[in-house]
Amino acid sequence: MNYTNLPHTDIEVSKICLGTMTWGNQNTEAEGHEQMDYALEQGVNFFDTAELYPIPAAAERYAHTEKIIGTWFKKNRNREKMVLASKIVGRSPATSFIRTTGFNRESITAAVEGSLKRLQTDYLDLYQLHWPDRVTNYFGKRGYQYDGTDLWEDNFHQILETLRDLIREGKIRQVGISNETPWGTMRYLEESKVHHDLPRMITIQNPYSLLNRLYEVGLAEISHREDLGLLAYSPLGFGVLSGKYLGGRQPKDGRITLFPNYNRYSGETAVKATEMYHKLAMENGLSLAQMSLAYVNSRPFVTSNIIGATNLEQLKENIESIHIDLSDEVLQGIEAIHNQIPNPAP
């Protein structure tokens, strides 16, 4: 396993992070425990979760993923070996069963304390805002369009004040953002520069894959100049870049088969690009999944690559991507495809 540090900290994390959003829905508690056992054996010391998980979100399954991780910690008594990240859900009609108050002091505090209880731990190493409190472009929306319905008022300072107090209480160590735009990212960073007592956002968890390299447009420069680490999620595009849906296949346990509305990476252009990437991988003796993950692993702005799996074989293949160094020929082939079909999925 390769390791790096969360930016601006001495917290060492594996370059591969174990994503957990299927546990409690597509995966049982026993399967979640099995995945954590195997990942730890392979040197993965970084787990990412959220109060929203498992996905798709539902009131009857609220926070089941965190509970599964909590029982694993209780059983193994190894919390100190792991770097643990979680998130507070953003405001949305789809998450109104959790709360409707947005990121005010009461909601953030309650969310942190709820996660700590379910995870059976006293602290979180990284706490993230799952998506912006305001209406903007995220979750597959390519561009920003103001429609006049957003009643949001600037609350960057207040959010950071609340997070600062939770850090002082020892409940969280570091903070990050997720599904954020360049504007929102810089607002957080500038707020903590001007007000030195406020915590600095050190990571951003956004989608990044061969099918979606939009991070490179505005946020990659911020990563470079501000030392903000990307925690790349959906590096296989909901499993599309595993190749299992090629040829119109619909594997019965596949995420897109089970949840057809998760079709962000399944449009005609994305399928064409996937076919081209698959051909490139085959020509170079690689699986599509491992080439796709190895590419993400190699990007200089990526602090950790969040992989997910619904079975142990997938998990093994995904973790083994850390041992693959892509040749110049493969990298040039990837760029040629990207130039021909840039960012087919948002």
Confidence band, pLDDT 50/70/90 cuts, at residue 163:
very high
For residue 172, is it within any domain? yes
For residue 131, is it within any domain? yes
Judge whether 21 and 65 are in contact, CB under 8 Å: yes
Mean pLDDT of the chain: 96
For residue 241, is it within any domain? no
Q: What's the pLDDT at 109?
A: 98
Q: What is the pLDDT of residues 208-222, one digit of tens each?
A: 999 999 999 999 999
Judge whether 44 and 31 are in contact, CB under 8 Å: no
3-state secondary structure of 5: strand
CATH (domain of 189):
3.20.20.100
For residue 228, is it within any domain? no
Q: What is the pLDDT of residues 289-303, one digit of tens each?
A: 999 999 999 999 999
Crossing angle between the packed helical segments 105-119 and 64-76, to the nearest 10 degrees:
40
Judge whether 231 and 303 are in contact, CB under 8 Å: yes
Cα Dmax for the chain = 55
Q: What is the pLDDT of residues 98-154, one digit of tens each?
A: 999 899 999 999 999 999 999 999 999 999 999 999 999 999 888 998 878 888 999
For residue 242, is it within any domain? no
Domain of residue 89: give its range. 3-205
* CA 17 – CA 331 distance, rounded (Å): 23
Q: Is 38 a catalytic residue?
A: no
For residue 269, is it within any domain? no
> How many domains, the chain?
1
Judge whether 307 and 237 are in contact, CB under 8 Å: no
3-state secondary structure of 219: helix
For residue 34, is it within any domain? yes
For residue 282, is it within any domain? no
Peptide linkage before 132 cis (omega within 30 of 0): no
Secondary structure in 3-state letters for 66-91: HHHHHHHHHHHCCHHHCEEEEEECCC
Q: What's the pLDDT at 147?
A: 79
Alpha-helix runs per DSSP H in 92-214: 105-119, 156-168, 182-194
* CA 72 – CA 69 distance, rounded (Å): 5
